[in-house]
């Protein structure tokens, strides 16, 4: 074989050298994390990408990336789907991103995920808690450690992403404003969150010398509530399908009920706006967001206590 290669003008030793230098799956994945994910994705997304690489792609770590075939992907996804169908979808997506990155870097020639169907059918979650469930959940939050309790209460009060609240730092707080830097947001844009008096009271009750507002969550700043803590909240509240992210959806939905326009809801949620107006409009709408969040905090007080409060539906100021 070597003689035939030489006669054909090929250099077998060069191929051996090339194969030796070819990246393993783990090496390609690490490059993806360093040069793509950490540059373009939110910290929480990087955290989950890294966790899947370390756990789900472990059987491939020492294999050459160029050796992975479609049948390898199918077998791996089938194994994952047998125990966690939706997780298999996430792994499929990550493998595809890693290989597309490798193609752009000229490290591999093709993407083995091409033309593979998602292992599971997904339905977008639209869970919003009722007033009674909000009361039960708020009471259940008292059963978890103090730092986590504050996180869950703030998610419901502010409508922000759980990972962003978990990672809140004292340096980001300026009176009644929470200034999220671009590296901590999903769309990589700075975000200003007005803080109601109820939100500030929670934060002020946690004053300390640590960098983080919730130091007990230092190692969880890129994740969300643990399965053990979520189970405890479910048991204490009776809300069997509780998830921290549903608190955000519940807050934003209730803002709509008291008259906050969809536009201001999206500004509060820091959703990406790729429209022409969104690209050029850099006004933060701080006053409008503050009015909406203060009204929602008062409405939440009313729900929790059962006491009537003067919570007026928002008019022009929030539109």
- Which of the pair, 298 or 228, is modelled with greater confidence? 298
Distance CA 291, CA 104 (A): 46
Displacement of CA 240 from its chain's centroid (Å): 22
Read off the tokens for 152.
Answer: 């869950």
Q: DSSP letter for 24, please.
A: B
From residue 99, give the alpha-carbon distance in Å to each of 25, 66, 120, 228: 9, 9, 21, 34
| 261-306 tens-digit pLDDT | 999 999 999 987 655 454 444 567 999 999 999 999 999 999 999 8
Q: Is 191 helix (H, G, I), strand (E, B) or coil?
A: strand
Q: Is the pLDDT of residue 48 over 60?
A: yes
- Containing 257, the helix (H) or strand (E) segment is helix 244-257
Read off the tokens for 64.
Answer: 């050459």
Residue 212's DSSP bridge partners are 169
Q: What percent of the chain has pLDDT over 70?
A: 84
pTM value is: 0.74
pLDDT band at 207 (very low <50, low <70, confident <90, very high): confident
- Which of the pair, 4 or 308, is modelled with greater confidence? 308
Read off the tokens for 122.
Answer: 């997904």
The predicted structure's pLDDT at residue 296: 97
Q: Is 174 helix (H, G, I), strand (E, B) or coil?
A: strand
The predicted structure's pLDDT at residue 10: 63
Neighbours of 68 (CB within 10 A): 22
The predicted structure's pLDDT at residue 7: 58
| 69-100 tens-digit pLDDT | 999 999 999 999 999 999 999 999 999 999 99
Within 13 A of 100's CA, how many CA atoms are on the CB side? 10
The predicted structure's pLDDT at residue 316: 44
Q: Is the pLDDT of residue 317 over 60?
A: no
Sheet holding 173-174, edge to edge: 173-174, 177-180, 191-194
pLDDT band at 319 (very low <50, low <70, confident <90, very high): very low
The predicted structure's pLDDT at residue 13: 66
The predicted structure's pLDDT at residue 121: 85
Average pLDDT over residues 24-31: 97
Q: How long, in residues, is the chain?
A: 319
Distance CA 78, CA 95 (A): 14
Q: What percent of the chain has pLDDT over 90?
A: 65
Average pLDDT over residues 171-189: 91
């Amino acid at each position: 074989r070597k003689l035939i290669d030489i006669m054909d003008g090929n250099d077998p030793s060069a191929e051996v050298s090339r194969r030796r230098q070819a990246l393993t799956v783990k090496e390609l994945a690490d490059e993806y994390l360093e040069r793509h994910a950490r540059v373009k994705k939110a910290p929480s997304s990087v955290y989950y990408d890294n966790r899947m690489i370390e756990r789900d792609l472990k059987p491939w770590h020492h294999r050459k990336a160029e050796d992975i075939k479609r049948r390898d992907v199918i077998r791996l996804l089938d194994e994952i789907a047998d125990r966690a169908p939706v997780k298999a979808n996430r792994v499929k997506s990550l493998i595809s991103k890693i290989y597309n990155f490798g193609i752009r870097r000229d490290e591999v020639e093709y993407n083995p995920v091409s033309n593979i169907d998602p292992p599971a059918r997904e339905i977008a979650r639209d869970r919003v808690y009722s007033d009674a469930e909000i009361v039960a959940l708020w009471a259940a939050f008292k059963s978890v450690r103090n730092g986590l309790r504050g996180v869950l209460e703030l998610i419901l009060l502010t409508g922000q992403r759980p990972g962003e609240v978990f990672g809140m730092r004292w340096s980001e707080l300026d009176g009644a404003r929470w200034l999220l830097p671009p590296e901590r947001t999903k769309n990589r844009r700075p975000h200003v969150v007005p803080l109601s008096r109820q939100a500030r009271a929670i934060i002020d009750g946690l004053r300390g010398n640590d960098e983080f507002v919730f130091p007990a969550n230092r190692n969880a700043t890129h994740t969300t509530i643990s399965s053990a803590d979520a189970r405890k909240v479910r048991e204490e509240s009776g809300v069997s399908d509780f998830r921290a992210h549903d608190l955000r959806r519940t807050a934003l939905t209730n803002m709509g009920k008291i008259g906050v326009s969809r536009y201001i809801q999206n500004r509060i949620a820091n959703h990406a706006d790729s429209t022409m107006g969104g690209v050029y409009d850099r006004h933060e709408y701080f006053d409008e967001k503050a009015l909406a969040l203060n009204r929602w905090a008062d409405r939440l007080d009313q729900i929790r206590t059962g006491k009537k409060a003067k919570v007026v539906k928002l008019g022009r100021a929030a539109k």
